[in-house]
Each structure stands twice: as C-alpha cells, then as structure tokens.
Amino acid sequence: MATAAWSIENGGKPGEAKRNGSRTSRIAYYAFMIVISCFYFYPMIWLVLSSFRENRQIFTTPFSLPERINLHNWGEAWKIGHMSTYALNSVIVTSLTVAFVLLFASLASFAFSKLKFGGSRWLLLLFTFGLFMPVQSFFIAQSYIFDRMNLKDSYMALILPYVGVGLPLAIFLLKAYLDSIPKELMEAARIDGCNNFVLFIRVILPLLMPSLATVAIFSALNAWNELLLALLYIQTDALKTIPVGLLAFSSRYVTDYKLLFSALAIVTIPMILVYVLFHRQVVSGLTEGSLK
C-alpha cells in the first residue's frame, strides 16, 4: 500500500509498482535457477571438454578450455572400445524393457484402479513394497532362479529384472492418474457398449499418454545406466551393454581418461537430449492425477 501510494504521488499508475515488483521477483527467480542449473550441469560440461584433451592436459590443466575441438578422441573411443556393439545391446535391452513396462503397467494400473477383484489391495501392496526394495535384496534368489532356467548370459537376464524393478513405480504413477478420471466417463463408455478391452484401448490408453511418456523415460534411464546386473549376468562381450563396456577403458593400473571421458560423453549426451525433448511430458505426467 505504501509503495503504491508513493508511486501514485510521484505520478505513477496504481498497478505499476505491483508489476515492477512482480518483474523483479521473476528476474531474481530465473537468475537463481540459472545459477543452480550451472552448478549441477558443470560436471557434464567438464566431462565433454575433457574428452577433447590429451591425458597430460587433463592432469596439468583440468579446468582450462581445450586447445582445440578435436573429435579424434571420440572416434578412437568408439572404435577401440567397440561402442557400436555395446550401444546396440543397450538399445535392444532398453527398448524391450520400456515396451514391457508400458504394456504391463498400463494393464495393471487399469485393473487396480477401475476393476474390482478379490485380493486387489494385497496385490497392490506387494507392488508398493517393490518401491522400497533394492536390487541387492533379492539378487541371490534371482541369480539362483536364472541359473536353473539357463537365462544368464542373455538379453532376458537383464530385461526381466529391469521390468520387475520398473513396474512398481510405473503402476503407482499410472494408477494415481487413473484414480482421478471421473467414473461418469467410464459409465458412459459402458452404456455405449464398450467392454473392458475396448474401454482400455479407446478411452483409457489415450488419456494415459502423458503419464506413459514419463514412465517410458524413467524406465529407459534406469535400463540404460544399470551396471550391477549387467556386470554379473553377462559374460559374453557380444552381449555386454554400455555401462559394462566402459570398464574396458580402465584396467587395474592404468586408465585412459581421454577415451573414457569421450565414451562417457557419447553415451550420456543422447539421454540428456531425450530428457530435454520430453521434459514437458515428464512434468505433466508426474502432476497428472495430483488433483481431482
């Protein structure tokens, strides 16, 4: 009030002081977020810049700009590290993992949210426990089962655990959104003659697209970056994924940092670009269903 009165007394309009204060707040907010973003993104920038240096320069002048932008290190890392094979394996494992998670999670969330059946609460509680259980907690039992089923050293040895780990969060997110859909929409579809299958395909699935995009990105990131299971279950070089392949640049006594940083930049930048391109879908998918 005092600011507005002072502005009016000095010839300003009543809303001018409020607009100036709002503009100042936005500028301060964006400046603060830019600083925070630079703080968290600096390691990635340093990684990319280091991939253009020689090993000697990385140790002597680690924080200086590279003398020149030379992609020779990237090409050498791709060739020597057999990154094409590892990248193909990661693409196959990640794609199948995401496809299975989206299929099973969408069907399960529809059943838990809109269909009533015996034991649904207890079954949903089991999936909820999966949100808090790390991979290490069931690794021994899982390894024994894979030994008995001869699944080790195959794509399925990675896809099955990745799907199992990704399903609890996916079901939780999708069910939260489906719970916010009005019952009248479902009843109208049933009056029109839709059975459960048609209802899911024509009504539920189109509405789930933003949340499915969020689940797909989370599942892809987890499968693409996972190391422990890929290191323990895959022994054949032709089936190894990127996280395991990166270990080839480091031995017991020597690490070729320029090639290691180049390989890390090659495999990290695509995933960052995927998130940047679909970040709106991620945010909308996380907020969908938060309000009814």
In tens, the pLDDT along 108-152 reads 988 888 887 777 788 888 888 878 887 777 888 888 999 899 888
Query: Is 3.30.365.10 the CATH number for 82-287?
Result: no
Q: Is residue 133 helix, strand or coil?
A: coil
Q: Is residue 255 helix, strand or coil?
A: strand
Q: Where are the beta strands (DSSP E) in the chain?
A: none
Residue 97's pLDDT is 95
**Cα–Cα nearest to 167, from 229, 119, 123:** 123
182-234: pLDDT as tens digits = 777 877 878 877 788 888 888 888 888 888 888 898 898 889 988 889 988 99
Cβ 286 vs Cβ 101: under 8 Å: no
Residue 19's pLDDT is 66
pTM for the structure as a whole: 0.79
139-150: pLDDT as tens digits = 888 889 998 998
Phi first, then psi: what are they for 62, rounded to 5°?
-70, -25
Domains of the chain, residue spans: 2-50, 82-287
Q: What percent of the chain has pLDDT over 70?
A: 87
Q: List the structure tokens of 230.
A: 């890929």
Tokens 């838990």 sit at which residue? 112
Distance CA 91, CA 82 (A): 15
The neighbouring-strand residues paired with 255 are 250
